[in-house]
Amino acid sequence: MPETGENISEEILTPIDIEKELEAAAEENREANFSNKTIREINLSDKTIETGITFEGAKILGTVFLSRTVVAGNLNFDGAIISTSLYLGEAKISGELSCRKISTGEVLNLIGIVVGKNLNLEEARIRGFLSLNKAIISGSVNCRKITVQNSESATGTIRGDVYFQETRVKESVDLEEAYVDGLLSFQKARIRGFLNLTNAVINDFLLLKDAVIKGEFKSEGMECKGQIA
């Protein structure tokens, strides 16, 4: 008989467990809930998911693949810890995409994503690049106090760059007090609201070539290597 207080290894969810919860959520017309779970890895690329999904506070030991995935609701990674990378390239999220206080060991790839409402990356911690190239965001983008750092490994360095190249945002983009190890690029971006870089620290260049910002450009207290417009 186990002694009181003996360590019991935590359950690690497998792809079969994930599939079962997605099916149950669809049948019960509720959000699929993986909050605070430990998950080996996630591969839901090219799938259509009929409900929202939450991975709030989850610990994911491998990579998360949601490339070209369609999510009929909100997608929540608030406070999740991902050991390697999160791929959401060309995904379609009908609701909000919330990654507040997420932590990734490598890149966060949102290239070509379509988000029906807001994107929240406030206080996210990313090692490696963050890319929203060619993304379409129908609400606002909140990247306040985000940290994007270089990722060092035996195979080399992934620069901590942030890309909004050819990104379209219906409302505003807020990077107040952001910290970026590499460059920050808004080349050919279209932002209908304001762009806020107040007190942001960018260790390389800020690129604004061919960007269109309809609202106010706020840059009081911003630090960068140089600005290319």
What confidence tens digit (pLDDT) does each residue in 139-172 have?
Answer: 999 999 999 999 988 888 899 999 999 999 999 9
pLDDT at residue number 113: 98
The pair phi, psi for residue 59, each rounded to 5°, is -115, 115
| Residue given tokens 């808004």 in the structure block | 186
Is 5 among the domain residues? no
Is 125 among the domain residues? yes
* Residue 113, both tokens: 């994503």
pLDDT at residue number 94: 98
pLDDT digits (tens, 9 = 90+) for 104-129: 999 999 999 999 999 999 999 999 99
pLDDT at residue number 8: 44
Those residues with Cβ within 8 angstroms of residue 19's Cβ, 6 or more apart along the chain or in another chain: none
Is 154 among the domain residues? yes
Is 98 among the domain residues? yes
Is 74 among the domain residues? yes
| Residue given tokens 């491998």 in the structure block | 62
Alpha-carbon dihedral sign for residues 226, 200, 75, 87: positive
Residue 9's pLDDT band (boundaries 50, 70, 90)? low
State the DSSP H helix or E strand holding residue 25, giving kind and residue range, or none if neither: helix 15-27
pLDDT digits (tens, 9 = 90+) for 56-101: 999 999 999 999 999 999 999 999 999 999 999 999 999 999 999 9
Alpha-carbon dihedral 173, 176, 182, 186, rounded to 10 degrees = 20
Among the listed residues 178, 70, 168, the one whose alpha carbon sits nearest the alpha carbon of residue 126: 178
Is 30 among the domain residues? no
Question: 189: phi > 0 → left, psi -120 to 50 → alpha, else beta; which?
Answer: beta
Is 195 among the domain residues? no
Q: Rounded to two decimals, what is the model's pTM?
A: 0.93
Q: Which amino acid would we find at residue 179?
A: Y
CA dist 91 and 2 (Å) reads 46
Task: Give how many domains the chain has, as a whole number.
Answer: 1
pLDDT of 2 higher than 50: no
pLDDT at residue number 154: 83
Strand partners, 65: 43, 87
pLDDT at residue number 120: 98
Is 78 among the domain residues? yes
pLDDT digits (tens, 9 = 90+) for 13-61: 999 999 999 999 999 999 999 999 999 999 999 999 999 999 999 999 9
Residue 105 belongs to domain spanning: 37-172
pLDDT of 1 higher than 80: no
